[in-house]
Structure 1
Amino acid sequence: MRIYKVGGAVRDRLLGKPVTDIDWVVVGATTEEMLAKGFRPVGADFPVFLHPKSGEEYALARTERKSGRGYGGFTFHASPEVTLEEDLIRRDLTINAMAEDDQQNLTDPYHGQRDLKDRLLRHVSPAFAEDPLRVLRVARFAARYAGLGFTVAPETLELMRQLSDSGELQALTPERSWKEISRALMEDQPQVFIEVLRACGALKVLMPEVDALFGVPQPPAHHPEIDTGAHTLSVLQQAALHKQPLTVRWACLLHDLGKGLTPEAEWPRHIAHEFKGLKLIKAVNERFKVPRDCAELALLVGEYHTHGHRALELKPSTLLELLQSFDVYRRPQRFEEFIAACEMDARGRTGFEQRSYPQADYLRGAATAARNVAVQPLLEQGFKGPELGEAIKRERLKALKAYKEAASA
């Protein structure tokens, strides 16, 4: 029985990056031997065990063969005869197909160390094209390591293009796709994830609504970058630079989908794109079974982001409607995330990256003014039921009028 550290732990150590998760592969062992040593089995697809003390995962060396469509369409074979090299060749990228023993002796049959040096994301073998999930994984690694100068090898991008054209991407489950998408959006340069998907044709398959934004112009006075797709990537980049959570990053990606529906005759203006985009945002949310917090914020940002930009011009009544739409009284965090998405949108324009966004503090102040309206005095005046609701609304409107006047003074 020989045990090796494999995959990301080896890759990140060689890159000088922190190692968080460690994967182990066991060569020359049987399931019975693992159980005898106290390892606990997990999963039914292939032999993976939890270490009796550390709880880390140890997998028996295995080979795999394509047997159906999609991510799960594989037959695995694990036995003591499977070599380390045979286990490593089934992995996606050469930089993930290295192993080391307890003395840090490196096993690198597919030249992963060379590709680390050359900053290349390169597939291990032609079997790469058998797993459509790898299109998303490679794009995610590109987003993670773009800051170190990594790019996708041309021959790997070509295989990703073939996968995108094959129809195999449609075989991915929403859950698996969302897991990769959400992880990619939380990388340091999530815009690179979208760029790579677009370069290999996967974006138009997975998110045609986002792909449609490229080549659509906007008014240069407000958007010096002009192209709506380029703007969307910049907004996503700003969200990452400002360490925004996944909810905000997802909303940033989808906020302008309505502009993809504008007829060319109306370019570069996009009248009512906020409302036109809602059905598209909803479709993308449903396609990937997006978690509720991300899905709700994306819809709200899509509908109201221009309200955010015009916050200082809004009438008190419109401001109140905006606050009501977000339920700022019970869900203040969601409104804070909306403000963040609006600010990222404003900064995601060429030359506006460092521009201040006074709308943010103005909206926060408005929410505070509305929340500070006391309900108890109204109860003491005898208001109840629907009448109480109307009375609260009147008082909040009064508070917002006073707030706006004070802010304008």
Structure 2
Amino acid sequence: MPESSETTTLAGELFAPGVGAQAGPPTTPAAGTGSAGEAAPGAHSSGGPTPTGSPAERFTATDPEAFGDPTGREEDWRFTPMRRIRPLLQGAPSDAALEWDADLPDGVELTRVEAGDPLLKGLPEPADRLAALTRQRSGGAAVVRVPAEAQPDRPVTLRLTGTGGDDVVWGQLVVEVGAFAQVTVVLDHSGSARYSGGVSVLAGDGAHVRLVSVQDWAPGSVHGGQYDTVVGRDATVEQVVVTLGGDLVRLVSNVTYAGPGGTAELLGVYFADETQHQEHRLWVDHSVPHCRSNVLYKGALQGEQAHTVWVGDVRIRPAAVGTETYELNRNLVLTDGARADSVPNLEIETGEIVGAGHASATGRFDDEQLFYLCSRGIDAETARRLVVRGFFADVVQRIGVPELQERLMTSVEARLGALPGLADQPVEV
């Protein structure tokens, strides 16, 4: 990865004057709920709104010790298999690294800043101990910079490959997109690793950013990460998360708005096989007026002890008039022995909104769809494959990179080919 002594950033160009570099959630909870270092009561070090004392208030801090050592009884960790995540939570500082392969269009820069750089101090703060450890032990961050008004002719593609080993790999990536630029950034994770990574996307005013994150790890891999997105005035950010591989993947995605008129689309697909644990947690903080968010995650599970977790939290603060938001999670359980947990949460603190809602559904194959296909001469196994392919297709097509879309659907097909007892499951026609 290129090294650079240049520490100037696009922060001054990203957002309108007076808006600030980011508007993250409060870093100091209300009295009686904890403390973020030495901040005075009601203070907040990341430029976010003042805490209100709501039960939805989030605690954030850069010091890992401020969170304590998770036991699994905390709300943020109650679904996570602690024995499997311990190698990351107890991981020592290390020089281990993933192999990077970058495809950069003309005008896009990949560089590195060291710990203590002003850019890193302005990022949204970690929301749990693992994210704080990552920020502390990464020793800086890789930075992708897209200039204002740029429209690259192809996606920015970063392939991050694990090479094995027991040491934890600590990594931090910042994506800075200048005002009115339009870009797609693909993070493609593969190989074998114990990886704890942070990703921050700063979308300038009027920018349109699509971030695609693929977790296609080898068996036995463990991946924990915090994804932070700051949406500028009238900007649009699409985040597409695809989780297929690894023993345990736990991703926390946070969205904040730096000015009115912003839009965030959070999309995801995941497919858990036998013994895999895949956990996706989302937090959308509407703290400024006239912004929009839409969340759509779809998952499939098969095999004994396959476990998926989706937790979606949306908060509409008193100042966020004109907000429009909706979140939906759907899970398709393909075999016995698999478990899907889905927890949508919505807190509304103003009645002056366009609309807000959430929904969650978990079930087996749609009998009507299977009946329709089988009644037209399609065998039951092929019918089930078609149903699952269609289940994922509307999200996968939003990736916008045809070769990646085809690769992911091929991977889904391969998993269905190994579906235990598929042909033995009856269909009434």
Give me the TM-score of the superposition, normalised by structure 2: 0.26
Give me the TM-score of the superposition, normalised by structure 1: 0.27
The structure with the largest alpha-carbon Rg is 1
Decide which structure has greater strand share.
2
